[in-house]
Structure 1
Amino acid sequence: MHRDGIDGTGDTRHALGDFLRARRGRVAPEDVGLTGGGRRRVRGLRREELAQLAGISVDYYVRLEQGRATQPSPEVLDALARALGLDVAERKHLATLAGSGHGPAPKVRVSPLLRRLLEAAGSLPAFVTNHRLDVVAWNDLGSVLMGGLAEPGRRAPNEALYLFLDPASRALFPEWEDRAVEAVGQLRVSAGRYPDDVELTALITELSSLSAEFRRIWSTGEVVMCARGRKRLRHPAAGLLTLDYETLHVPAAPGESGLEMHVFSAEEGSQEAAVLARLASPAAAGEVLAPSGG
């Protein structure tokens, strides 16, 4: 059932229950020492099974899922997290959903220092996103690598809209499904943290109404927090590039949204490092690079 947004987004009474329901659905009874027990109407654990594993009453757990109990104790949250096998990011999200006293949606501001850092990155592609996955700043190489951010009208300035509504994103990201799951997981974290952000709620509602793939991934209850790793991107001239990335978290001033600066790099002496250096060179404008594969 859709309420304000999708699956309780923008509805703090139901967001906690929706998340618990989604996580409950992914736990196989056999994985926690329970028998499957014949035909089951739902995937994963039954409500009474999860309540038993967490050491709480079935009635209380049902009230949590239905939004009639909204502020469980830290002990209950810890027991539920253990029973569901939540990872660190999911535990933090669960605690956020169970919190109270949410304030207004934060403002977004890119400081002059952050802009100088982007330009100083030189041959390292970099761009900055807010909690809605709006790309709010970038350097020249970051724009080129991420599908033409600096070119008005070429692509949506929001990463989630670009991924789910623009077919060009599948050419840019060979592992499109992984990137899509990351985006949905990040939006879910933000929805729990900023339930009063009407722009965020509108974004998730739009994606839900226009993309069946977004609805599919959202229904899993996936939670993702960006950190570091390796990604493959396809440049139209240079071909397929395998790059390391690091997510730098920019602290927020009171009333503002914290930002994330995503920086890509390549191992020194590698073919990718040479390609990035050439792309960053002023002489690269209009130059056709030899593809690196893919």
Structure 2
Amino acid sequence: MPSFIVLSALWGSSFALIKVAVDAGTAPLWVALWRCLFGALALLVVCAVQRTPLPREPATWGHALVVAALLNAAPFALFAYGEQHVDSVLAGIFNATTPLLTLVFVLAIVADEKLTATRTAGLFLGFAGVLVVLGVWRGLVGGTLVGGLACLGATACYGAGFAYTRRFFSHREGGVAALSAVQIGCATLELAVLTAVTATAPNWPGWGAAVALVVLGVLGTGFAYILNLNVIRQAGPTIASTVTYVVPLWSTAIGAFLLSEPVSWNTFAGAALVIAGILVTRLGGAKKPVPAAPAAPTPQPAAD
């Protein structure tokens, strides 16, 4: 369906947009802050047009602060930092491990989720794919290791955030645009405080990078949330969750053809192993699939 294709393209292109910004000299924290700020403004406009009020319950805002830190502030900054050292192609493939890390955290905090032999095999298969992407036989040293670990740290945040969202946040009252606006707004505030304390003053990166940041925020971190909900409503959460498999295709194609990034055989082989691991974990799971892996996660994960 058109919404599914556009959604996967937006999330797949986010890694190339991040790469454009960091290559232009934008510090990782500022990439994350501008992304959240533009995304929050876009979602607030949607709420205003729809006349959707923001939630007022203190508990909702308290949980939103945690969700924002796990699903937005920390991973957005980590991906930007990681892409100072690795290509956007690799970052997109690392992002595809989110369902595997989500499963790990879901097993830890959701009582009705159980670890089975099939799920265990899927986890090992998926993380073997990560090692193939990294090319461990060449030695894990230098910038690739640093960048790869930063990207994996970002997906670990996503995993913890999805599990926390499933248990504490997704059932809160309010439309998806309102909850998303609260979440991204909280992330903006968190990053604003962090950049004020630790980062240098922002610099003008040039028109290309500036446009990339606006598109990354408005479309990839704002409008994509609405598209994700539409896909869930039209096709159901199971179909919506398959965006996990399509995002790396977009990130690889965009990185290779538009940014001229090299793509080696182990990149494709590792990506195939990661996706195979995700499929195996779902075969061995309960009736509810593990949430999808969006580049810009929502308060209602695609598989919940």
Which category describes the TM-score, using the shorter chain as reference length? under 0.3
Instruction: State which structure, 1 or 2, has the greater radius of gyration over its C-alpha atoms.
Output: 1
Instruction: Report the structure, 1 or 2, having the larger strand content.
Output: 1
TM-score by length of 1: 0.27
User: Relative CO higher for 1 or 2, CA cutoff 8 Å, sep ≥ 6?
Assistant: 2
TM-score by length of 2: 0.27
